[in-house]
Structure 1
Amino acid sequence: MEMSELSDSMKQKIRAEYEGYGGSPDKPLQTNYFLNIMIVIAVLAILTSLLGN
Structure 2
Amino acid sequence: MDYIHDLIRQIRKLTTEEGELPRELIEKLEKTVEDYYDVERDAGGAYKQKEWKHPYTSF
What is the TM-score with the length of structure 2 in the denominator? Answer: 0.33
Structure with the greater alpha carbon radius of gyration: 1
By relative contact order (CA 8 Å, sep 6+), the higher-ranking structure is 2
More helix by share: 1
More strand by share: 2
